[in-house]
Amino acid sequence: MLLYTAAFAPNPRRVRIFLAEKGVSVPMKDIDLARLEHRKDDFRKLNPMQTIPALVLDDGETLTESVAICRFFERLHPEPPLFGVGAKEEAFVDMWQRRVEFGLLATVGMAFRHSHPKMALMEHRQLPEFAELQRGRALSFLRFLDAKLRSRPFVYGDAFTIADITALVALDLALYARVEIPPELTHLARWREAVSSRPSAKA
């Protein structure tokens, strides 16, 4: 196996944190996004969607999409479980992972893509007004999440899951997307400190 990853980008970081939590090590190769290596022929042959991460399997097929890659590793290495255990818990972890993905990672990510000077290269056209709309959505979600974290340690409940990983990478991107995290969200701050201090956060 070979995992294509990229520095600073949130999606490959999700997979790296996931693997670190599992204690699984996979050979990795960095793609230089600033040099648009993901748009060059060599990489497009592997992943026509030109997205990172991409996992080349031993049979030569390429699996893409962060969550699909994480779920694949969950099946290969079930312990510790990061997608829940049993039909109901798995469903609720999936729900929270998706809520965080659409409500936070996507909104922060779009604010970043449509406003950060470095992303002008990647987007056909940046729309600062759209970035601002997304900041408002991200803030609403952060308030909702803070209220949930008042009564539980992690996004889904008592256990650290993939939903926490998605939330952490989204929060770490917030600064670059100019999404200001309100200081009164103290439960969110406590959670962030806890997940950021896990060794996996450095992956």
Q: Where do contacts with a copy of itself occur on this chain (CB under 8 A)? A: 48-49, 57, 61, 63-65, 67-69, 71-72, 75-76, 87-88, 90-92, 94-95, 98-99, 103, 124-125, 127, 129-130, 133, 136, 144
Judged by beta carbon, residue 30 or residue 129, the one nearer a copy of itself is 129
Closest distance of CB 202 from a copy of itself, Å:
26
Name the H helices within 41-152: 41-46, 66-76, 87-100, 106-113, 128-149
Judged by beta carbon, residue 35 or residue 124, the one nearer a copy of itself is 124
Contacts for 110-114 with beta carbons within 8 Å, 24 or more apart?
110/134, 111/135, 111/138, 111/177, 111/178, 111/179, 112/173, 112/176, 112/177
What is the sign of the dihedral through the CA atoms of 136, 140, 141 and 142? Answer: positive
Judged by beta carbon, residue 61 or residue 184, the one nearer a copy of itself is 61
Closest distance of CB 99 from a copy of itself, Å:
6
Closest distance of CB 95 from a copy of itself, Å:
4
